[in-house]
Structures are given as structure tokens and as C-alpha cells.
């Protein structure tokens, strides 16, 4: 992990961060595909409300997937790219319910909970390592997603 040394981080610390970032990458990738499935398959009276909202969400997720992979590369690691690997390490599971509005939104909220938890863990690990780059990235994601949680909960009336 030559890059780590150049940017002032220890190889041991960056290995831990890269491992956790690959887990985060897997979770984002499954969440992305679940959201696309909801976008494609949503039915009912909430179609016109949720169809574009889900597209907006998955457009943002794909950008974050790229940013996480690039952060892994910046730290000298190798981002995982196989869905078979993602399914082994992701906490977020493939969604089977992609037609019912409330089920889709609850799945999105559960996925945000998983991502925010992982990102908070990364904040701690990266903070201890002095990795401000990863810390800043995770902090930005958490701030944005906390607002998304509020909005999706508001949709459910909570």
C-alpha cells in the first residue's frame, strides 16, 4: 500500500480501512440494485411520487459507489467489483419486495440504517488512523443520509 505511505498513513491502518470500505462498497452496491428494482417495479397510487424519487436515490448511490471505490484505490487497496463477493459480505440483502410503496420505503430506511452504522464505524477507524480523507467522505455521506431518513420516515408518517 505504497499510496498510504505517501499520504502519511500507516499500511496497517489503511488495510483495516480498505477492508471496511470494501464492506461498505458491497452494501452500497446491493442497496443500489434494490433501489433500481423498486424504481422499475413500483406500482399503485404512489407510482408518480416514488418512481422519480427512487431514480434520484439510485443516481446518488452510483456516485457514492464510484467515490468509495476511488477512496479504496487512493489508499492503495483494490475495490471489490463482483456481485458474488458483495452478496457474501453485505449486510443489506437483495430485496424481494419491489412493488409495494411502503415496503420499498421501509427497505430503503433499513438500508440507510446499515450504511450509517458502517460509516460511523469507519469514522472511528479512520479517526484513529488520522485519515481525514475517509473521515470527511463518511461525514458528508452521514449528513446527507440523516436528512434522507427524515424524509422517507415522513413519507411513512413517522
CATH architecture of the domain with range 9-156: Up-down Bundle (1.20)
What's the pLDDT score for residue 4? 77
What's the pLDDT score for residue 155? 95
1-33 residue pLDDT tens: 577 778 899 999 999 999 999 999 999 999 999
Return the closest-CA partner of residue 144 out of 64, 79, 70, 71.
64
Place of cell 452478496: 87
52-96 residue pLDDT tens: 999 999 999 999 999 999 999 999 999 999 999 999 999 999 999
Amino acid at each position: 500500500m505504497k499510496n498510504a505511505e505517501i499520504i502519511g498513513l500507516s499500511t496497517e491502518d489503511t488495510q483495516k480501512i480498505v477492508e471496511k470500505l470494501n464492506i461498505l462498497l458491497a452494501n452500497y452496491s446491493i442497496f443500489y440494485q434494490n433501489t433500481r428494482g423498486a424504481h422499475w417495479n413500483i406500482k399503485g397510487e404512489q407510482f408518480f411520487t416514488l418512481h422519480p424519487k427512487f431514480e434520484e436515490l439510485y443516481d446518488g448511490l452510483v456516485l457514492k459507489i464510484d467515490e468509495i471505490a476511488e477512496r479504496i484505490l487512493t489508499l492503495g487497496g483494490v475495490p471489490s467489483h463482483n456481485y458474488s463477493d458483495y452478496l457474501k459480505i453485505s449486510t443489506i440483502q437483495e430485496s424481494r419486495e419491489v412493488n409495494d410503496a411502503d415496503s420499498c420505503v421501509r427497505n430503503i430506511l433499513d438500508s440507510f440504517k446499515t450504511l450509517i452504522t458502517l460509516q460511523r464505524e469507519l469514522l472511528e477507524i479512520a479517526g484513529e488512523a488520522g485519515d481525514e480523507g475517509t473521515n470527511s467522505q463518511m461525514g458528508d455521506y452521514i449528513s446527507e443520509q440523516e436528512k434522507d431518513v427524515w424524509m422517507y420516515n415522513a413519507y411513512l408518517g413517522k
